[in-house]
């Protein structure tokens, strides 16, 4: 904000600098896909990736070696991501992890950009609030108990 803007009471325009929550790469204005938490957490490919990243691989190895601490950490990871109530702006490089309507997700991203990051689809919200309890539990069971198994066994 410049000196004159302060005097005249002008506030600077909000500059969005989103990063993909999966790859951490910056997303340039007008690009990306907007997904809800439900769309993210229903992807088995997403959970296989998350549970075998360098930061989480030790928990996955512990889990599959029947160590409760690994399973507990995987549970916390699931809870963390499934409880996000805001939409996710996802980069082009990882959109293939999700079985979604890409045109709709791209259109929603455009609405998000135009609203300076304030657009919220009706379906946005924490997964537990948006899914039937049995469906939520099935997703949680896969993410916590099974995700990444094939990568660990192959190693």
First-to-last alpha carbon distance for the chain, in angstroms, is: 53
Would you write out the chain's pLDDT as a tens digit for each of its 155 residues?
A: 555 556 666 555 667 899 999 999 999 999 999 999 999 999 999 999 999 999 999 999 999 999 999 999 999 999 999 999 999 999 999 999 999 999 999 999 999 999 999 999 999 999 999 999 999 999 999 999 999 998 886 55
Report pTM.
Answer: 0.87
The length of the chain in residues reads 155
Q: What is the pLDDT of residue 15?
A: 78
Alpha carbon 144 to its chain's center: 16
Provide the phi-psi class of 147: left if phi over 0, else alpha when psi is between -120 and 50, else beta. Answer: beta
């Amino acid at each position: 904000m410049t000196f004159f803007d302060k005097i005249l009471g002008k506030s600077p325009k909000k500059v969005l600098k989103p990063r993909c929550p999966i790859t951490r790469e910056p997303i340039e204005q007008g690009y990306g896909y907007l997904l809800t938490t439900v769309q993210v957490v229903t992807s088995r490919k997403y959970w296989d990736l998350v549970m075998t990243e360098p930061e989480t691989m030790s928990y996955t190895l512990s889990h599959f070696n029947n160590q409760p601490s690994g399973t507990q950490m995987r549970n916390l990871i699931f809870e963390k991501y499934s409880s996000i109530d805001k939409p996710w702006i996802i980069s082009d490089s990882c959109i293939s992890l999700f079985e979604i309507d890409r045109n709709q997700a791209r259109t929603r991203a455009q609405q998000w950009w135009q609203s300076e990051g304030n657009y919220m689809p009706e379906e946005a919200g924490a997964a537990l609030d948006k899914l039937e309890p049995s469906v939520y539990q099935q997703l949680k069971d896969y993410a916590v108990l099974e995700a990444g198994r094939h990568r660990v066994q192959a190693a």
